[in-house]
Structure 1
Amino acid sequence: MAAFLTSLLSLALVVFTALSLELNFYRNSCPQAEAVVRKAVEEHFLRDPSIPAGLLRLHFHDCFIRGCDGSVLLDSNGNNIAEKEAPPNLSLRGFEVIDEIKGKLERECRGTVSCADILALATRDGVAISGGGTYDLPTGRRDGTVSTITDVHLPDPASSVADAVAAFQTINLTLADLTTLLGAHSVGFCHCLFFIDRLYDFKGTGFPDPDMDPTTLDILRKKCPRPTTQIFNISSDPKVFMNQMSSTPFTLDNSFFHSILNGRAVLQLDQELGFTDLTSNLLARYSTRPGAFRWMFAKSMIKLGNVGVLTGQAGEIRLNCREVNQRH
């Protein structure tokens, strides 16, 4: 009974959180807010078509820790080391896009649009511009004031599906959400660091992952040489396209699921999606029905954007996304 009541309370909190946000939240306080965000993302995309992938990852890492409160955007301060300094976050990018949009919106309507909403909206627009479809995104998030490295616990690229699902369940996302959201790996780059063991020493065997397509293995080994040291520098670590089957690596589509079905996924977690009953069924559906993938991806993105949001008088509206407001 106690477990049942806890589940009901958790569900109630999720529903309350979702209802606390609303479409066009800034229609009166800052009518041009969403247009400003969209234009900035479009301009950055023209210069760097990989930016939607960067924004997607930035948004996910924000929402997974402390909820979608913009805490991943905060810089370290004094003795406090911020989330962005944690090893899984060192390769995050897109901070400059959020800073630029925030600067424009502060000039348009000071102290009105939160950094958390800017990140969520920029991600939404990045999804649309890269071909993933559009979706209506409720807004009204407020910014958190806490960001600490010790809070950062994210699913590892080498996690099992079971471990990844357990991590997703802590933020009220399901196995179906996990499978769907990983479809974002159809775009962007991946550092060799995150899958190097699959190429040379899978699970300590001294051999490559037997589930990886041999041609893909040869291609990736040429781009990611065997490491000569145990010390990795993320800034000099080579990168490869996340989707090895796509001729359009900056288009968010269902090609990622074809990669898995052909043993050509780069990350171990992605490849393991092909080996469970539910995920393999979803893979088959998404690989043949691109419209179904886009619809479900939008649904899961909205659900992700509702995780742990601050609304009403909670948190604050930061004037600078990299630091909390000064108290007087």
Structure 2
Amino acid sequence: MASTGPKWSLYPLLAVVAVFEFALGGAHIAYCSPLFFFLFPFINSAFGLVTAFHAIFLRYPNRCDFYLQLTCSSIGFFFFFSSLMETYCINEFKYADETIKDGVCHGLKYRTIAMVGSCNDLLANLQLSILDKFGWEPKEREWIRFFTSISLTILSGIHLLICTLLTFYSATETKIRLYSYHYQVVISIFIIIVSFFHLRYCCTFFFLYLPLAIGMFSLLQGIVSWRTKCHGSTTRALNIIGAAFAVLMNATTSFGIFCWFNRNTVPHMITRHCHWLSHREAYCMRVVHFTHPYIDWLPQETEREIAAIQITVHILLFIFSCIQFSISMRSAFSTKKQYLYY
């Protein structure tokens, strides 16, 4: 990919987006937005600028270019979703002499209220001074926080899209091939991570340890496929079993989603299976309620956060199971070496 054409023009665009992110990062900290302490705007913009200028001064991409773009995409992924959550919850954040109210953002508010309060105490005079210079009222601080968060959400989304596209372009130009077993290892790690939340928050059939067991098997499956390059009867057998496990996880998570939507109904017929081994479920819930920070919360606040985490876990596991099934089937029944790169 020479330094001409529409693909190359993404690099200057990435640099421009990163500059705006950096500028808004100052307002993000100065006005004590809920997640200001992560410094995501500065970290994301710094990697974006380094990635952009490294590529601009190259005529053709190299491996270093690819790794920078991959890192930029990874950081941008977390920044985008954190900004999205912050924007969604920003109107709930009113810290001055106000008790914590019930709401979907209660957990985020509870975990950040101390740091945001300290930040406001430290920078209140600076905030008011800036507002006074523009002739704005102190109440405009909430509007500035909202504008900053929504702007960073848009910019981080553009940043993530550009870095992702450039990552695939560089992979193509530098002949970096990402085979199916590479994706398999990554997906298995994600499944294992999510499985701990599945256990911790008492999701449907949590006591069977299915996501954790399937994640561990998927990791073994990916490693064996990697070592054998998807050749051999043992590898094919592992991939067939992995596909079966993926179907099993897909079925259980689909049923878990069904149970989640019927969690407040009286158990009958099919829904009574949602509370299989109800004593284990009740004990698990009691453990959650008596752990930090939930021990300081009202029961309904705890239930609300548990429900939000449960549906998120089920959806993620459903998506991962579909991907795992697809990759396992490709690896098991393909007659030639498959690779997944663009």
Fold in common (TM above 0.5): no
Structure ranking higher in helix proportion: 2
Higher Rg: 2
What TM-score comes out, normalization by structure 2 length? Answer: 0.27
